[in-house]
């Protein structure tokens, strides 16, 4: 049986995509940086700093870390005003509540610390997690396994005793590299077919499939 469940946030537990894309586009358009919504959506999960850098490079706009810091601050201000529009997916709290008595639960998100701290408090989810790791505490974004490996270490569990919940190709690849099993939900930017190509251990249509998920998690030997 698994000892810990590690969840992604954006697109897995919460429908953050519209707010994230809106905030990025508002900031980027102010500096004449033109990218499509799809460009941004397909990069959710690699971290906001890397998303900004990719957009700037695509438009041949020179930048340094200070310039990216400024863009990040502007994005945060916009996002904070829109947090009420972010919804936790149906079935998320029920699943967390079912797992909580029997497993340690971690949150490994490429959202930044100010964002995730405020959202967890607003949505009443703080009490479900034994440890929260954000983009600010890792050097390498997904698909690098760093965030999952470090979260397992903080939970006091070996990677092979952890199951990851993800919605992105980046996340599935990172989980596999971390030697963890992966449950994937096509609720974010990637289709079921795209996710199936990465051979996750279980695909469910939504977190509302609680019993199917629990059967997978607790029947493992």
Which residue spans within the chain are E strands per DSSP?
A: 4-7, 14-15, 87-88, 104-108, 131-133, 162-166, 181-184, 202-203
- Domain locations in the chain? 4-15+86-219, 17-84
Q: Is the pLDDT of residue 120 over 70?
A: yes
- The band of 221, judged by pLDDT with boundaries at 50, 70 and 90, is very low
Give per-residue pLDDT as tens, 161-206. Answer: 999 999 999 999 999 999 999 999 999 789 999 999 999 999 999 9
Which residue spans within 56-160 are E strands per DSSP?
A: 87-88, 104-108, 131-133
Structural tokens at position 126:
């703080």
Give per-residue pLDDT as tens, 76-103. Answer: 999 999 999 999 999 999 999 999 999 9
Q: What is the pLDDT of residue 9?
A: 96
Nearest Cα neighbor of 183 from 2, 1, 4, 7 is 7
Give per-residue pLDDT as tens, 129-156. Answer: 999 999 999 999 999 999 999 999 999 9
CATH 1.10.3470 correct for 17-84:
no
- The band of 220, judged by pLDDT with boundaries at 50, 70 and 90, is low
* Cβ-proximal residues to 210 (8 Å cutoff; 6+ apart), any chain: 91, 94, 95, 98
Q: Do domains 4-15+86-219 and 17-84 have the same CATH topology?
A: no
| CA separation for the pair 63, 158 (Å, rounded) | 40
Q: Is the pLDDT of residue 24 over 70?
A: yes
Q: Which fold has domain 4-15+86-219?
A: Rossmann fold (3.40.50)
């Amino acid at each position: 049986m698994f000892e810990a469940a590690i969840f992604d946030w954006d697109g897995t537990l919460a429908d953050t995509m519209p707010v994230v894309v809106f905030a990025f586009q508002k900031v980027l358009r102010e500096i004449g940086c033109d990218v499509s919504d799809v460009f941004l959506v397909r990069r959710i999960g690699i971290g906001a700093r890397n998303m900004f850098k990719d957009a700037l490079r695509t438009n041949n706009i020179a930048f340094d870390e200070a310039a990216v810091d400024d863009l990040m601050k502007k994005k945060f201000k916009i996002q904070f005003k829109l947090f009420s529009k972010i919804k936790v997916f149906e079935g998320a709290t029920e699943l967390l509540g079912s797992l909580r008595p029997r497993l340690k639960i971690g949150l490994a998100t490429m959202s930044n610390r100010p964002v995730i701290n405020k959202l967890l408090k607003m949505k009443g989810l703080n009490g479900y997690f034994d440890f929260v790791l954000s983009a600010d505490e890792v050097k390498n974004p997904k698909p690098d396994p760093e965030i999952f490996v470090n979260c397992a270490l903080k939970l006091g569990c070996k990677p092979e005793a952890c199951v990851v919940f993800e919605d992105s190709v980046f996340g599935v690849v990172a989980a596999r590299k971390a030697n963890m099993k992966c449950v994937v939900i096509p609720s974010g930017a990637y289709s079921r077919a795209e996710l199936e190509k990465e051979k996750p251990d279980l695909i469910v249509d939504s977190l509302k499939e609680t019993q199917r998920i629990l059967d997978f998690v607790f029947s493992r030997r």
